[in-house]
């Protein structure tokens, strides 16, 4: 199997940047965020830019992502913020698992 480790690493870096942005914005109180469409839209955009257990955890985000992409005007911002606050670490876990997988691929090639 050919795996472009460099390309996937670039994607992981992009995910890491978005996670950092999400965490920075989530330091803001929900009431303030709900009244700040720029920050809300930044969060939604960041979510668009993911082990089977992790897939189950992230499944709600895939639904939210699809709603943001296709029907963002119908998304309940309060629920969006609640779900994002509860699940943002799942993105970090995904990032770690993919990096471990890639390291295994690199180690296999060097054998």
Q: Domain ranges for the chain, please list them.
A: 5-110
What tens digit of pLDDT does each residue of 26-81 get? 999 999 999 999 999 999 888 776 555 556 666 766 676 767 777 766 778 898 88
More confident residue, 52 or 15: 15
pLDDT for the residue 111: 47
Q: Give ∠ CA 35-27-39 in degrees, rounded to 5.
A: 40
More confident residue, 3 or 52: 3
Q: What is the DSSP letter of 3?
A: -
Closest to 39 measured CA to CA, from 29, 49, 52? 29
| Residue 98 to residue 105: CA distance in whole angstroms | 11
Asked whether the whole model's pTM tops 0.95, one would answer: no
| Residue 54 to residue 77: CA distance in whole angstroms | 24
């Amino acid at each position: 199997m050919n795996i472009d480790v460099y390309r996937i690493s670039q994607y992981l870096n992009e995910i890491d940047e978005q996670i950092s942005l999400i965490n920075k914005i989530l330091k803001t109180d929900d009431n303030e965020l709900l009244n700040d469409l720029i920050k809300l839209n930044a969060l939604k955009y960041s979510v668009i830019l993911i082990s089977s257990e992790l897939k189950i955890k992230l499944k709600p985000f895939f639904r939210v992502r699809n709603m943001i992409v296709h029907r963002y005007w119908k998304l309940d911002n309060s629920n969006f913020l609640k779900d994002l606050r509860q699940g943002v670490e799942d993105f970090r876990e995904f990032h770690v698992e993919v990096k471990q997988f890639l390291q295994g691929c690199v180690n296999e090639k060097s054998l």
